[in-house]
């Protein structure tokens, strides 16, 4: 029986190709799993009110963020992340020309695709309550069960 030996060339220069393949697979895996740079749908123009009370939200999964600002007349300006893949923030109107409610339809669609949906409302601190009230009523009509308000603690 003959013994096979490692060729002389591998003693001086080990083959690192399998090692590089494994490292590249690990890098790709961790890039897919990590939540680096995930857009949450936060509008930087909205200054949330101050509050000393409240709780830190530990689990932000399944959350839809509604940014609410004062709009024209009695219509609030509501923006949300309409597409999670692109991270694009778009305006969702409370009423349209046909008498419909696009925000209600959007919330129902989100709730139907995700029964555990949480809605976080980020209202501007300078805004009057009448604008926020319409958004809250629309959330109630869409049967959103978990509704939170975003505030910040004073420095």
pTM for this entry: 0.65
According to CATH, what is the number of the domain 63-149? 3.30.420.270
> Per-residue pLDDT averaged across 9-15, rounded?
68
Separation between Cα atoms, residue 92 and residue 103, nearest integer Å: 6
> Per-residue pLDDT averaged across 1-20, rounded?
74
Most confident listed range (24-28, 32-36, 55-59, 82-86): 24-28
User: Using one digit for the tens of pLDDT, what is the confidence trace for 16-37?
Assistant: 888 999 999 999 988 888 766 5
Q: Where are the domains of the chain?
A: 63-149
pLDDT in the model for residue 60: 64
Cα-Cα-Cα-Cα dihedral sign, residues 125, 129, 135, 139: positive
Please give the C-alpha separations between residue 47 and each of 9, 68, 88, 106, 127, in angstroms, as whole numbers.
Answer: 66, 10, 20, 24, 10
Per-residue pLDDT at 6 exceeds 70: no
> Per-residue pLDDT averaged across 86-114, rounded?
84
pLDDT in the model for residue 43: 65
Per the structure block, which two tokens stand in for 50?
């101050």
pLDDT in the model for residue 35: 65
């Amino acid at each position: 029986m003959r013994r096979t030996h490692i060729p002389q060339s591998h003693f001086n220069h080990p083959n690192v190709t399998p090692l590089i393949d494994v490292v590249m697979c690990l890098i790709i895996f961790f890039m897919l799993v990590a939540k680096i740079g995930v857009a949450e749908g936060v509008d930087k123009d909205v200054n949330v009110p101050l509050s000393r009370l409240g709780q830190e939200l530990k689990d932000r999964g399944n959350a839809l963020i509604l940014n609410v600002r004062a709009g024209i007349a009695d219509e609030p300006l509501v923006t949300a992340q309409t597409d999670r893949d692109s991270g694009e923030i778009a305006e969702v109107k409370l009423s349209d020309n046909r008498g419909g409610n696009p925000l209600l339809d959007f919330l129902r669609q989100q709730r139907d695709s995700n029964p555990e949906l949480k809605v976080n409302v980020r209202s501007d601190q300078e805004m009057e309550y009448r604008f926020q009230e319409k958004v809250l009523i629309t959330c109630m009509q869409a049967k959103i069960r978990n509704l939170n308000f975003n505030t910040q603690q004073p420095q």
